[in-house]
Amino acid sequence: MKSTFASRALALLAGSTAVTAQFDFLSDLSTSPPFYLKVSAPDNSSIDGRFLHACHTGAATNTLCLGQHTPSTSDVAGKFYLKYKQSPDDGYLINNIKILNGSTGNVELVAEPFRLALSAATNVAMTWFSPEGFADGSIYAVKFTGDGLSLPIYPVDTDFREGVRPDPTGVDASSWYTCWVLAGSYYYNALAWVTGGIPSNPTCRPVRVVKVDVQS
């Protein structure tokens, strides 16, 4: 199993529409300072304080794996930033991946947006980063609050009633867990989102995710 910071493979992505589309999407957004993502789980010393990093799941795709208690200061896999309109704590979570440009032969940094990989087989959704998110619009907004990383959820349907059209509201939700997951052909201890109830995966442990600024 390759889950270290250094194990990130170079992916071939020549002439992809996703790479082109991302620049159009990002052009009007500001960029936050870079940061690390750290797990907070005071009741579980085995995972509390460990940092997350993007780890390889396939061609130009990654999930967020549980790493060490110190961040990697040299590898882009452990550094993240937000693209935002108003607040640097509220926007789109981005990680950069090293891509081999088939046209020029040069290795380039390409932005990958965050989303969740949902499956009908489980209520545990893997974290997922892929340039294709820009092309198909399947990226997720996130927010950092005093409780850490959250997802703005809308609509909340807990007050819906039969035959009465609701005036739905939204909330900033946090349902993060670390779980052992199958990501392609890899088996990782990774950050995941539980869509509701008790996780179907018995390896899942509840966590918060906080950001730690990268010191220049």
First-to-last alpha carbon distance for the chain, in angstroms, is: 32
**Other Cβ atoms closer than 10 A to 144:** 21
Distance CA 44, CA 39 (A): 10
Average pLDDT over residues 90-114: 87
**Looking at domain 11-154+168-213, does it have CATH number 2.40.50?**
no
**Other Cβ atoms closer than 10 A to 99:** 21
Q: Is the pTM of this model over 0.85?
A: no
* DSSP class per residue in 21-64: HHHHHHTTSEEPPPEEEEEE-TT-TTTTTPBEEEEEEETTEEEE
Q: What is the tens place of the pLDDT at every residue in 50-101?
A: 999 999 988 788 999 999 999 877 788 899 999 999 999 999 999 998 877 8
